[in-house]
Amino acid sequence: MNSIGWIVLVLAAIVGAIIGAFVFAAAGTVVLLLLIAYVADKLTRGDDNRGDY
């Protein structure tokens, strides 16, 4: 493989790693937000004074 082929291969690997990291971070953010929403709902469920704080 010539040098241009190697450069394209390395750049494709870098771009793929960046996209993979972004997808992983986005999925982690969604899971964290769902967890926070679940815990907040558990903490406020059945609270008669929900609007006091």
The model carries a pTM of 0.62
Q: Please report, for the chain, the start and end positions of each structural domain, with discontinuous segments joined by +.
A: 17-43
**How far, rounded to the nearest angstrom, does the alpha carbon of residue 28 sit from its chain's CA centroid?**
3
Asked if residues 50 and 44 have their Cβ atoms less than 8 Å apart, the reply is yes
pLDDT of 11-37, one tens digit each? 999 999 999 999 999 999 999 999 999
Residue 48 DSSP one-character state: T
pLDDT at residue 30, rounded to an integer: 97
The reported pLDDT for the residue numbered 47 is 62
**Token pair belonging to 7:** 């450069």
Check whether 53 has a pLDDT greater than 60: no
